[in-house]
Amino acid sequence: MSLSLSPTNAISAVPAENSKIAPIIHLSAVGKRFGKNQVLANIDLDVHHSEVVCLIGPSGSGKSTLLRCMAFLEEYDDGEIHIEGRLLGWEIDDRGHRKHAGRNRLNQARRNLGIVFQQFNLWPHMTALGNVTEALVRVRRLPRQEAEKKAMKALDKVGLSEKAKEYPARLSGGQQQRVAIARALAMEPKIMLFDEPTSALDPELVGEVLAVMKQLAQEGMTMVVVTHEMGFAAQVADSVVFLDQGSIVTRGTPNEVFRDTNHPRLRQFLQNYLDRNAFWHTTPEKTS
């Protein structure tokens, strides 16, 4: 896999004509409550084909919940989410009330989605290969041999074909997360959703996971990434969305958002991040 850190190598922003094409993910006025607690309010968001969108914000801002709504892992209460033009998770009945979509309909919509979780969620009783093969056999109904071939390709893509026979417990966190990415990729999704994919990793292992994600982005995968890795967002994202208290505060290209001075909460959030990651507060004195 190629790893380049120079910003010039980051994929170009979405071509202008793309915005006229229907977005692959379309959220309008999405709201979500946990009991009386409004965790998401009035979220409008479009994600276009091949676009990489990073969701950033303080913890509790609703960014993970928003991502989970996009897979209908959380049921959204208001508004609509369309994936490739299809309403996600709900059906509107004759009287205009919404009811749960049937399992087939929901699976149909989810077919296009690959999801990677913070906690990897690998199945510990199966090898890396077994983890990637399982759904190909059980869901796609591929013969085992064909499924394993496909799984090996996916593992190869994340640089782990040599670890195919290892159980997750024998892999490092970074390797486990890459297996999880391979598991999602093997199903050939059109959209990849990442829920803080590097938050549970040792700092030293973050890079290998981000490198895989970066490569995916460069290959044109549509991606929505909840992340605390501002460097990744700056280099790879086409647009960055800043959430606070369940609402979108601002969005734009990484340049626009990271240089934004109009939103005090965003400034505070970024300053906090910078302070936390600063090696020194003043330039170190040069020793001759």
Partner 1 sequence: MFDWPTFLFSLPLLGKALLITLQTSLLGNAFGFVIAILISSMQLAKMPLLRRLGGSYIFIFRGVPLLVQLLVIYYLAPMFGLPNLSPMVAAVMALSLCSGAYIAEILRGGLMAIPSGQSEAAHLLGMSRPAILLRIELPQAVQSTLPSLVNELVLLIKASALVSVVGLADLTRVAQNLASSDYLFFQHYLVLAGIYCLINIPLTMFGRRLERHLERSLA
* 123 contributes a contact to partner 1 by CB under 8 A: yes
Provide the minimum distance between the beta carbon of 110 and partner 1 in the complex, in angstroms, as a whole number.
6
Please identify which residue in 138, 144, 259, 267 interacts with partner 1, judged by CB under 8 A.
138
Provide the minimum distance between the beta carbon of 228 and partner 1 in the complex, in angstroms, as a whole number.
19
Distance (Å, rounded) from C-alpha 183 to C-alpha 274?
Answer: 34
Please identify which residue in 111, 153, 190, 228 interacts with partner 1, judged by CB under 8 A.
111
Whether the CB-CB separation of 260 and 250 falls below 8 Å is answered with yes
Q: Which stretch binds partner 1 (CB under 8 A): 20-28, 113-121, 209-217, 270-278?
A: 113-121
* 113 contributes a contact to partner 1 by CB under 8 A: yes
Number of residues forming the site for partner 1 (CB under 8 A) = 25
Q: Which stretch binds partner 1 (CB under 8 A): 1-9, 17-25, 58-66, 130-138?
A: 130-138
**Burial grade of 133 (CB within 10 A; 0-12, 13-18, 19 or more):** buried
* 183 contributes a contact to partner 1 by CB under 8 A: yes
- Name 117's Cβ contacts closer than 8 Å, sequence gap at least 6: 180, 195, 197
* 115 contributes a contact to partner 1 by CB under 8 A: yes
Residues listed for the chain? 288
Q: Which stretch binds partner 1 (CB under 8 A): 132-140, 146-154, 235-243, 277-285?
A: 132-140
Q: Which stretch binds partner 1 (CB under 8 A): 5-13, 114-122, 197-205, 272-280?
A: 114-122
* 139 contributes a contact to partner 1 by CB under 8 A: yes
- Name 101's Cβ contacts closer than 8 Å, sequence gap at least 6: 87, 88, 89, 90, 91, 109
- Name 86's Cβ contacts closer than 8 Å, sequence gap at least 6: 108, 109
Q: Which stretch binds partner 1 (CB under 8 A): 74-82, 152-160, 179-187, 250-258?
A: 179-187
- Name 32's Cβ contacts closer than 8 Å, sequence gap at least 6: 38, 39, 40, 62, 65, 66, 69, 74, 75, 76, 77, 78, 246
Cβ distance to partner 1 smaller for residue 113 or 213:
113
Helix, strand or coil for residue 4?
coil
Q: Residue with structure tokens 């208290």? A: 245
Residue ranges binding partner 1 (CB under 8 A): 71, 73, 107, 110-111, 113, 115, 117, 119, 121-125, 134-135, 138-139, 167, 169-170, 180, 183-184, 187
